[in-house]
Amino acid sequence: MTTKTTKGSTRRAALKTLAGGVAGAASLPLWARYTHAQSSEPIRIGFQVHRTGIGAAYGRWYDRTTQAATRLINEAGGINGRPIEIIAEDDGTDPKRGAEVVEKFANQHGCDIAFGTLFSHVVTGSAPRAGELKLPYFVVSEGHHVASGSLNRYTLQPGITDVKSQVLSMAPFVAENLGKKVTMIFPDYAFGHDHRDFFSQAIEAHGGEVVAKLAIPPTETSFTRYFPKIPRETEVIYHVMVGPGVLTFVKEMGEFFGPSAPQLFGFIDSLEAVAIDSPGLEFLEGSHFWEGMPRHRQPDQTEFETFYREQVGVDDRGASVSDPTDVSTYGHMFGCWETLHVVKAGMEAAGYQGPGDRPALIEAIEAMTDLPHSREYPQGPKVFNGKTHQVFGQQHITRLEKGNLVKVHTTSIEDTFYPDEVDYTTQPL
């Protein structure tokens, strides 16, 4: 994966200079932080949020994380001396409505960019319209749709890694430690299909085999009828489910297998916003999970993550500090925090003043490479590939031990690389 460019070196120098001014700006009174801006108008960020539909739990925590990051950025002087204004619109976790929301951001609200989309089918339904409107569209989704080249130059994913990179780095651990005959259970849309396709390839490369692939419709509310389809020779059940039915899914899986379940390897998506100690989940003890950012505080938690938890209001178990029953989507929501800081860095490097500077913003972000582990990027260090518009970073595997998600493996960034499939920089702006 090639990411370094001469232009990137120039941009990085500018970004370093800008970063050094943040602490000083934060010490100024609010009225003084914006006095040097060429415009007093706020930078309007259209937040495409899943307030309703199957993504509502994620949307609530994406909103909470976005508000926390916005507050901090504004307290430090905003972007180019201008405050951020978040303009939120509910897309209902629906592709058609998603495209309509993007249209509203551009033509009704006068937003500078759009941001925040999670569910892959909404991204693929919305991104074409963003490209037509030439509205920079920053998604926080994990789907491979951006890096695959199927979207457009105005769509970027700089704050969260994609499924392909995740499963490529996870597969060796599964094959070496859990088993080689795998049954996959996944949602029947683009995100799940990414898991199906890329994990199948990855496990085969390590001597394993996917013996069954069970696709679950996103509207399903009971899952018992799918479990008898799991072949007897299955050694590992790989599960990645999302939406309001996840607690039912894992409970019914436990009831079906009892103590004789195969090894379980789950993406934390199957339990996002669900307390790991919920009644009926006892059978998960000893099973493994992929986590983008470990929900439970780890002994080696960095000062950057400690700061992030405090600012978003999340306790050591990954729940709201004000309500321990309100469990966060901790494995994903950091992407909103980190994406907003990428946007800030890009706008400052581009000298962004308004919609006429959108092409310069895209080029500035394409020139980025290293995103250092910091308060701005608390999940860990990352490498952004300007050609594919996709960021790469470390992945974590945790094991459930006595009710605690304990980190047992962390990949390198290099483990997640794969050959480029597109060069968006060759497309016109």
CB-based contacts of 84: which residues, under 8 Å, 6+ apart?
Answer: 42, 43, 45, 70, 73, 74, 78, 340
Structure tokens, 235: 């050694």
One-letter amino acid at 241 equals: M
Report residue 318: phi and psi, to 5°: 90, 15
CATH class of 6-161+330-393: alpha beta
* Rounded Cα distance, 356 and 54, in Å: 36
Largest Cα span, the chain: 69
In the chain, CATH 3.40.50.2300 sits at 6-161+330-393, 163-291
Look at strands 396-401 and 319-320 and give their pairing: unpaired
One-letter amino acid at 253 equals: M
Strand, coil or helix: 17: helix
Report residue 72: phi and psi, to 5°: -65, -45
* Rounded Cα distance, 425 and 5, in Å: 12
Instruction: Identify whether the C-beta of residue 117 lies closer than 8 Å to the C-beta of residue 48.
Output: yes
**pLDDT for residue 39:** 67
> Comparing C-alpha atoms, which of 92, 91, 96 is closest to residue 47?
91
**Cα-based distances in Å from 122 to 139, 179, 229, 230, 407:** 10, 34, 30, 30, 32
**pLDDT for residue 37:** 53
Burial 88-120 (b: 16+ CB within 10 A, else e): bbbbbbbbebbbbbbbbbbeebebbbbbbbbbb
Strand, coil or helix: 419: coil
> Comparing C-alpha atoms, which of 226, 224, 231, 236 is closest to residue 199?
236
**Cα-based distances in Å from 102 to 57, 88, 90, 129:** 21, 11, 11, 7
**pLDDT for residue 1:** 53
Task: For domain 163-291, give the CATH number.
Answer: 3.40.50.2300
CB-based contacts of 13: which residues, under 8 Å, 6+ apart?
Answer: none
Instruction: Identify whether the C-beta of residue 52 lies closer than 8 Å to the C-beta of residue 240.
Output: no
pLDDT in tens, 130-164: 999 999 999 999 999 999 999 999 999 999 999 99
- Residue ranges in the chain modelled with pLDDT below 70: 1-39
Indicate the pTM of the whole model: 0.90
* Rounded Cα distance, 161 and 367, in Å: 18
- Residues paired with 401 in a beta bridge: 404
Residue 139 DSSP symbol? -
* Rounded Cα distance, 98 and 92, in Å: 8
Look at strands 263-267 and 288-291 and give their pairing: parallel
* Rounded Cα distance, 353 and 379, in Å: 30
